[in-house]
């Protein structure tokens, strides 16, 4: 495990995590006895935990989430259906899997160091509890991400040196630790505010807990935590579907937890460039002929399966969140986009060329990267409500709130008369609404028991998936660090 025994060093540059939260640039190793007696310096250390789940690297960003989402094939997919991620041929040497493992253990390491340091705190007990609640929730969420991807992993809860060689804990133990961490401080976390953007509120953690319980099939608890978010009245959908993924709206209450845009080589730059059609390189962005697109990789496209699920004439998500043609702003010429399905995700594009310093450098993408949105909570509530009580009025209300924002009419008991038909609609609606976000689609299909059938349905000629593919391999480099690790079956 990377840095598992490090005494926490604040990064040379602490990046932004939501524009309002991480803006300072500390450059020091901390002395616990001095740092944690002061609220402001303790908060600076807390900032260092927030950046690591979505580490802003020149070669990383959030792209591992995109590979994970695309491995489901039915929402987004790799532009090549013979790629290892399309066929189920990933291996223990895959760099994105190693990056994911390291980033989450870096979060855990920093959280452990912070929690030990907080034992020395002398400032307000109320603020102490809030900070501890944030750190534990971040640690718990990282354990949940590791659990979904790898199964049982070493449970490291302090900074003792012997933790470098811990064996893997059971999946149940990791799941229980994630729950314990995330529920511990719910009552200490503040309500949502736009000033809190990028930082955990009580609503965000309730939403994340709904996700955790839903993954385990605990529908009653998933329903309760999703209901807590809805009942709080703190969150609502951005009503104009065209504005959901814009920098002017990504700190509003729909965006419950997100990573702040940093521009060049930041998290959303990576998310954008991996989905950008390279056929547009050197094409004009707007009427200024010196502002050109450049650097797109076109690695991921929207899948044909999802395109067929969407009403291409009425669904605002198809109209505004995807594109398959480019209109040259200088000549008016329309060009079909090339690669994969020919339809690309447009969620992460919000360029601000006038503020980029050099014409044509569009890497300063200014939209945040979403980890949890309120529409996800509404759909989680609708799903859990249906499993607990059937397709009630409350379940339809939550589902239709998401549909209506997309420009679609209410769906009713005429179309969805029973729990089975409602369940199927929720499964499809989650693809329409959440494609390309936080690796959600892969784990949705796995928890529904649909993963194997779906990947063969979408890619019948090339798929080499087997049942053991529902867990990824432990990255090979980790065995050099911890010889007590045991590889997952099938690898």
Condensed to tens digits (0 to 9), the pLDDT of residues 415-452 reads 999 999 999 999 999 999 999 999 999 999 999 999 99
pLDDT, tens digit, 9 for 90 and up, residues 306-356: 999 999 999 999 999 999 999 988 899 999 999 999 999 999 877 665 544
Rounded-to-integer distance, Cα 120 and Cα 122, Å: 7
Residue 33 has pLDDT above 80, yes or no: no
pLDDT tens, 92-106? 999 889 989 998 999
Least confident span in 43-52, 110-119, 271-280, 361-370 = 361-370
Mean per-residue pLDDT for 444-465?
A: 95
In this predicted model, what pLDDT tens digit does every residue of 13-22 receive, in sequence order? Answer: 233 333 333 3
For the chain, give the number of residues. Answer: 491
Least confident of 238-247, 267-276, 476-485: 267-276
Q: Give 400: exposed, middle or buried? Use CB within 10 Å, 0-12, 13-18, 19+.
A: middle
């Amino acid at each position: 495990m990377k840095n598992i025994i490090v005494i926490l060093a604040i990064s040379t540059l602490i990046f932004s995590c939501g524009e309002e939260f991480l803006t300072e640039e500390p450059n020091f190793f901390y002395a616990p006895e001095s740092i944690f007696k002061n609220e402001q310096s303790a908060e600076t250390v807390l900032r260092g935990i927030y950046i690591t789940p979505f580490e802003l690297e020149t070669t990383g960003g959030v792209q591992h989430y995109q590979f994970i989402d695309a491995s489901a094939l039915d929402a987004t997919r790799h532009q090549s259906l013979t790629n290892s991620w399309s066929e189920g041929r990933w291996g223990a040497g895959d760099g994105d899997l190693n990056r994911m493992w390291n980033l989450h253990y870096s979060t855990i390491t920093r959280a452990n160091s912070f929690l030990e340091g907080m034992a020395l705190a002398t400032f307000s007990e109320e603020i102490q509890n809030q900070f501890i609640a944030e750190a534990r929730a971040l640690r718990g969420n990282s354990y949940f991400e590791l659990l979904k991807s790898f199964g049982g992993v070493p449970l490291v809860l302090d900074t003792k040196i012997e933790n470098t060689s811990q064996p893997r804990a059971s999946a149940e133990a990791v799941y229980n630790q994630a729950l314990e961490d995330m529920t511990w401080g719910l009552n200490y976390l503040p309500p949502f505010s736009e000033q809190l953007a990028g930082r955990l509120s009580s609503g965000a953690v309730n939403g994340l807990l709904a996700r955790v319980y839903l993954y385990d099939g605990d529908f009653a608890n998933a329903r309760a935590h999703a209901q807590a978010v809805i009942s709080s009245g703190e969150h609502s959908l951005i009503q104009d579907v065209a504005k959901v993924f814009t920098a002017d709206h990504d700190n509003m209450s729909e965006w419950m937890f997100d990573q702040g845009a940093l521009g060049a080589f930041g998290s959303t730059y990576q998310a954008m460039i991996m989905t950008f059609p390279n056929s547009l390189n050197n094409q004009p962005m707007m009427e200024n002929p010196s502002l050109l697109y450049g650097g797109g990789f076109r690695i991921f496209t929207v899948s044909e399966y999802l395109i067929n699920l969407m009403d291409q004439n009425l669904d605002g998500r198809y109209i505004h969140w995807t594109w398959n043609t480019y209109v040259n702003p200088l000549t008016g010429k329309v060009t079909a986009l090339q690669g994969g399905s020919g339809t690309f995700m447009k969620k992460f594009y919000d360029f601000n060329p006038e503020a980029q310093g050099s014409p044509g450098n569009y890497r300063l993408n200014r939209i945040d990267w979403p980890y949890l949105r309120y529409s996800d909570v509404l759909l989680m509530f609708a799903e859990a409500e249906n499993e607990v009580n059937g397709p009630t009025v409350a379940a339809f209300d939550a589902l239709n709130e998401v549909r209506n924002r997309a420009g679609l009419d209410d769906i009713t008991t005429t179309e969805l008369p029973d729990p089975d038909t409602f369940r199927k609609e929720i499964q499809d609606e989650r693809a329409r609404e959440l494609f390309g976000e936080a690796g959600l689609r892969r784990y949705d299909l796995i928890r529904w028991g649909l993963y194997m059938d779906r990947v063969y349905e979408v890619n019948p000629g090339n798929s080499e998936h087997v049942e053991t593919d529902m867990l990824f391999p432990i990255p090979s480099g980790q065995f050099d660090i911890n010889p007590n690790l045991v590889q997952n079956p099938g690898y």
